[in-house]
Amino acid sequence: MNRFTGRLTCWITYFCLLGYCANAASATQATAGSNAPATTTGSGSAPAAPAKTASGKPSSSDIAAAKASGKVWVNTESGVYHKSGRWYGKTKQGKFMTEAEAKSAGYKAAAKE
């Protein structure tokens, strides 16, 4: 690798990282800057489903809070919901909801827990 190619590679890497950081900062400002009130469920007293982390999966505290409030974890990819067990809050695609909401949306209970 000659001197020019080395410098070019360095600059390309620099600009790629610069663009990535700018996108990450604007996404953070967009979510942090919203002062929208917390949404509630139909009863008006309980908060909506716990927020997910940046990776899309809920944190362990979110899972514990949902389990304590009686919510089930719906695997939106497979159409199965879990009341507890190994897959509760752990599948790649999913969300928390009440069991009644899961049944009315057409999701089926997991065969084994």
Residue 99 has what pLDDT?
95
Q: Is 16 part of a structural domain of the chain?
A: yes
| Residue 97: half-sphere exposure toward Cβ, Cα within 13 Å | 20
55 in a structural domain: no
Closest CA to 79 of 70, 62, 91, 63: 91
Please tell me the predicted confidence (pLDDT) of residue 39.
46
The pLDDT of residue 15 is 66
Residue 93 structural domain: 60-109
Residue 54 included in any domain: no
Predicted pLDDT of residue 53: 46
Domain count, the chain: 2
- pLDDT for the residue 28: 54
- The whole-number mean pLDDT for each consecutive block of 10 residues of the chain, a chain of 113 residues, reads 68 67 58 49 49 66 93 95 92 94 95 78
Question: What pLDDT, on a 0 to 100 scale, did the predictor assign at position 2?
Answer: 72
Question: Residue 1's pLDDT is what?
Answer: 59
